[in-house]
Amino acid sequence: MANASDPRVDARTGTPTTGHEWDGIAELNTPLPRWWLWTFYITIVWSIAYWIVYPAWPGIAGWTHGMFGWNSRTAVVQDLQELKTMRAAGEAKLSAAKLEDIEKNPELLSIARAQGAAAFANNCAPCHGAGAQGAVGYPNLNDDEWLWGGKLADIQTTLQHGIRWDADKDTRSGAMPAFGKDGTLKADEIKNVAQYVRSLSGLPNEGGADLAKGKKVFADNCAACHGDDGKGNQELGAPNLTDKIWLYGSTTAAIENRVTVGGGGQMPAWGDRLDPTTIKALTVYVHSLGGGK
Amino acid sequence: MATQSSSLWQKHAIFEKNSIILVIGIIVAIAWGGLVEIVPLFYLKSTIEKVDGVRPYSPLELAGYNIYVREGCYNCHSQMVRPLRDEVERYGHYSLAAESMYDHPFQWGSKRTGPDLARIGGKYSDDWHRDHLRNPRAVVPTSIMPSYPWLEKTPLDIKHLGDQMKTLSIVGVPYTKDMIDNAEKDAIAQGAADSKDVKGLQDRYKKIIVRDLGADKGKLTEMDAVIAYLQRMGTLVDFKLYDSKANIR
């Protein structure tokens, strides 16, 4: 292309110039590297092929559907179907097995734990923690203290229907009254009963509360759910107050606050969101974390 | 390369040497692109499919939406479950255009520093959202999400919700006069389960979640609005009834 006699060709390099010139300095029109140019042409050809094979151009009454009628909604359904087929063997075993037999069979247990661990990480970990260690207000699932029961069937029911989850009519319910807020207990009564509750697990009396009076307040107001001995009642989700496990903390302030505002945590009902086999796997997973009864 | 020829490719000199012609050329090129890419979205049936259950935001949810936009939640959270296997596995049914048809602007987002939120409604408890927004590390120790402690300390401003709904109705959100007139009352009723106004609210907005937040005692905070918004997200369409094949042609 370069022609030595052409005034628009730079004599020194033999490269054509653009014709733009400033003070005798001409702009070289260096051609693009050949590999780049060919890659560029290939992408053009590729795009045309893509238009033909895949849905691409919108029209007046619809759009070009492509050679195979590919469609993202159909594709995802197929992908999910493939996944289901891939999992079918394990899934079938798990769904056929009785809940209480899964842990006795090492193969079933490993399937359930694998599936349960994945579902736990996605759905449960934000509240209960990645290691099921819990957080303030969200129970630790590794210990052997259970609010609503730690047997397989109990855990399954909790997962299926949730806790205080109004959208599910079979949800576990039982709310602690707001003794302070609604005026049932006065400030000094709350103080006394809070220290009495602390004394149940051997914690020191802070602020010189009258434990005998606290015991009386407990017997009159708390024992109905937490039991005369404070050991709790899993039917009502009333925690055991004598162990050293505290959902909202063992400080005087935390206990007084709980007596004042009452209530209790919520857990969503997972029955609508997760399929029965996943719930089964999660049940076994949680049960096998260490505290299962 | 084409220095000798004066082919069509040389004609660009006209554009390069006349700025007015260049500007007109740019406008024509962009307008054509817009015409081809955007106009079909207004008439192609699958992009405007009507889906049962989708309704405009209630006033309290709308207030939550406003805060979501104000705090820039969309910078880190998307609201778009794509029709891909892994996303459907993790988040649930892929998002439908109809589910964000009343968002102005929509909050699909383009970046996921945090997880997608399109199906967050009902996944966690209100308490969890409260704890988490106050300080994400309280429940998720490894979280890098900022804390939003002022939300629960800031009383919610509900004065202008009616005006906003009126404006939205101009751009096609089907708010009725009844809804607009009752905006403030409805915002309060959604946070006051015992209020006598709850019935009217439930008639105006289907599948609404009413809570006992003491709203009738003036206790509504920005936190309550955000939670009402989040807990409604992605819950309106009953996918057991949704016919996905109707739009595969």
CB contact under 8 A, A58 and B126: no
Q: How far is A57 from chain B (nearest CA, A)?
A: 8
Residue B179 lies in a domain: yes
Number of domains comprising chain B: 2
Query: How much is the pTM?
Result: 0.85
Point out the residue among A63, A137, A265 whose CB comes nearest to the CB of B44. A63
Q: Quote the Cα angle for A272-A278-A279, to 5°.
A: 65
- In chain A, the percentage of residues whose pLDDT exceeds 90 is 67
Q: Are B152 and B219 within one domain?
A: yes
For A125-169, the pLDDT digits (tens) are 999 999 999 999 999 999 988 999 999 999 999 999 999 998 899
Q: How far is A90 from chain B (nearest CA, A)?
A: 17
CATH number of the domain enclosing B102: 1.10.760.10
**Does A136 reach chain B within 8 Å, measured CB to CB?**
yes
For B118-175, the pLDDT digits (tens) are 999 999 999 999 999 999 999 999 999 999 999 999 999 999 999 999 999 999 999 9
CB contact under 8 A, B125 and A265: yes
CB contact under 8 A, A73 and B248: yes
Q: Which residues contact A233 (CB under 8 A, 6 or more apart)?
A: A225, A226, A227
For residues B190 and B195, give the distance between their C-alpha atoms in angstroms, rounded to a whole number. 9
Q: Are B124 and B231 within one domain?
A: yes
Domain that includes residue B161, residue range: 59-248
- In chain B, the percentage of residues whose pLDDT exceeds 90 is 72
Among A3, A9, A79, A275, most B C-beta atoms within 10 A, so best to mutate, is A79
Long-range contacts of A232-240, Cβ-Cβ distance < 8 Å, separation of 24 or more: A232/A147, A234/A146, A234/A147, A234/A148, A234/A149, A234/A154, A235/A174, A236/A174, A237/A147, A237/A148, A237/A163, A237/A172, A237/A174, A237/A264, A238/A174, A238/A176, A239/A145, A239/A147, A240/A145
Residue B184, token pair as written in the block: 């403030």
Q: Are B154 and B196 within one domain?
A: yes
Q: Are B6 and B125 within one domain?
A: no
Q: Are B73 and B127 within one domain?
A: yes
Chain B residues within an 8 Å CB radius of A118: none
Mean pLDDT throughout A167-191? Answer: 91
For B93-122, the pLDDT digits (tens) are 999 988 999 999 999 999 999 999 999 999
Point out the residue among B83, B139, B244 whose CB comes nearest to the CB of A127. B139
Q: Are B15 and B129 within one domain?
A: no
